[in-house]
Structure 1
Amino acid sequence: MSLSLEKILSEIEQLTPEEQLTVIGHLVEHIKKHINQAQPKRKWSDLKGMAPYPLLGEDAQEWVSRTRQEWY
């Protein structure tokens, strides 16, 4: 653990429980922003044209019907 991290953690321990919760909330919001930036939302329209039609020579409705029968 780095010295600066140890110092930060030591200072956080000196805070009141309410202040510690504020620190936690700030960190959670900060991390959420980075997670959302790292993984952009995808649209179904982005998949358009990626698979040939009919996929593997099978009609979509036939595939759904066959797959459902296999589940039971």
Structure 2
Amino acid sequence: MSPSLEKILSEIEQLTPEEQLTVMGHLVERVKKHITQVQPKRKWSDLKSMAPYPLLGEDAQEWVSRTRKFADEHREGLQREE
């Protein structure tokens, strides 16, 4: 620990609890400015070409058709059980 940091911490210990909270608040706000930088908004077009086509080797329309067929069969099975 540097001598200047030791001196600052020693001086902070001499402050009242309310003053110590003020120091903490000041430090938190100061650090937040460095940590929380504004993230640029992303556009859907930025995602274009990020995944290989066809994704996982399956065409999107084939996936939709297969998923719908599976859901229909599942629903029909549930209706028969009633």
TM-score (norm 2): 0.57
Moved over 6 A (4+): none
Name the structure 1 match of 2:6: 6
Q: Distance in 1 between matches of 2:61 and 2:15?
A: 60
The alignment status of 1:54 with 2:50, answered yes or no, reads no
Pick closer, same or farther for the CA change 1:60–1:30 going to 2, 3 Å.
farther
Q: How many residues align?
A: 63
Greater RCO, 1 or 2 (C-alpha within 8 Å, sep 6+): 1
RMSD: 2.8
Q: Distance in 1 between matches of 2:39 and 2:19?
A: 32
Unaligned ranges ≥5, structure 2: 68-82
Higher Rg: 2
Q: Distance in 2 between matches of 1:41 and 1:27?
A: 26
Provide the identity percentage: 70
Unaligned ranges ≥5, structure 1: 66-72
